[in-house]
Structure 1
Amino acid sequence: MKSEERREQSVFATAEGKKKLLKALQYYDAIAGRTPRETLSVEDPQALAVANVIEQLGRGVPHPYILGRALFMGNPFYCTKDTLIPRDETSLLVETACEFLEQKKKRGADVQTLIEIGTGCGNIAVSLAMRCGGGVQILASDISAAAVEVARRNVRRYEVEGKVSLYCGDLYEPFRDHQGAVDMVVCNPPYIPTTSLKRLAREIIDHEPVVALDGGPYGLDIFRRLLSGAPAYLKKEGVLLFEIGEGQEKLIDRLLTKNGAYKEIGFFRYRGKVRVASAIKK
């Protein structure tokens, strides 16, 4: 099944592939004088499905939304317009979280609870659940009820219901009963400055949820709330781990240092660029 899904995605995976398909479509329209939907038989569901795909490509809809799924760390995840499309660089967040958890276990720590904030389609929480051994419970939340439902589909798909619990709410709001009991907080927050959104590719800004992209005037709005709220939930020596944008490491280092609740601030690179930050609660 996985190989078939990868082949299906590859049809629309490149900009060049889309361009060739649309050029062929435009040539076809000029000759036929009709749209694909008008030309293809209304009695043929497969033909209409093809026409629908072509029309969506023409509107710049990202191919994961057309297919209804995206690959993350080699696994397909359901995704919709209510969720951000998983990015390859976010795999660093999952891998780094696994490394921290493994180190804690080797030191004899009783690792029980991990919180993920802003789960989206659930790709991070599910990937962690599939990689983390033992009895680690992952509590994942999103401010969007629609996103939580997509995540729920992925939790069921990979049969990790016993490891992942889903909540709808803003940041730490769903986790009030877990103050002082969390081993790790993981987050891929919106971190793009509002003024930079207009420079994103049209297929991103026109179709992906802005709430999952817009980090406020300087891209730091959610970071500030994330960093200030985590100490109340983390155990001593608990880990805060989160994705950041390119070039934000100095600002993040300053925020973590100024907070005073953290030590051992670290940064991790993906293909030569800093994309993940970590800090340990004192």
Structure 2
Amino acid sequence: MIRKAVLPVAGLGTRMLPATKVIPKEMLCVVDRPAIQYVVEEAVAAGLSEIIFVISRGKESILDHFDLSPELEAELEARGKTALLEKVRRVSSMVESLSAVRQKRALGLGQAILTAAPLVGNEPFAVLLGDDLVQAEVPCIQQLVEKAAELRAPVIAVERLPREKVSLYGVIAGEDLGGGLWRLSGVVEKPRPEEAPSEIAIIGRYVFFPEIFDYLRRTPWGAGGELQLTDAVAAMIADGRPVYALEFKGTRYDTGNKIGFVKTVLAYALKDPEIGEELRQYLQTLL
């Protein structure tokens, strides 16, 4: 049974400056909650009870958000704001176990995951990136967890993209096993569109077994002096280790850039029962 989820949130968020100068990009609000809360809610809904944040200096507010807030709760209770009080308490109680480890320098996703190794220990675990929010009937990470348990092997979330966009992602090569499942024969980090082995791109959801840490430790530092997760995965595949990819069922939103963030806010707001219909009518006046 997979219990632990690693959430790397140490990045600088440079694509969202100046908003992220003092506010972690993961704390930027999508409707009525910070983006990272949706990711944690996905993990919890999938049965992942231990959340491990990989943070950096200045990211402590992410931890504070999921902590108790006695003063705020007392004030809301005194004012009789019961509904708001329940929302605040739900945030602080949703995670059974929350811990954090500090990544002193942002040196790639692989290094962030390796930083979490002491807290993960010798057991399988999930990785969820804060830039990607996924709306799905079955939580995206749950789809991966179930498939990884069935196959007893790592599973990576992927989706089909227009070829002109694959240069922003890791791209897989492999055998199509049907039903959205692939057995990987290779993975390339941010290839040129004309050199990409497919149009199937990796998004920010993974399930790994502890052997990934050994591969990360042996992986040479890559472009930009970073430790690339895709290099470690490629080494596993080269050693004959089975690694799978799953085209998940759901819709992914990218909050890591300005246009993606605005699209995310609109998509979530339109589905909000309190403001969705009024927003829809307003958008129609603009168009």
Is TM > 0.5 for Structure 1 vs Structure 2?
Answer: no
More helix by percentage: 1
The structure with the larger Rg is: 1
TM-score w.r.t. the length of structure 2 is: 0.31
TM-score w.r.t. the length of structure 1 is: 0.32
The higher relative CO (CA closer than 8 Å, separation ≥ 6) is in 2
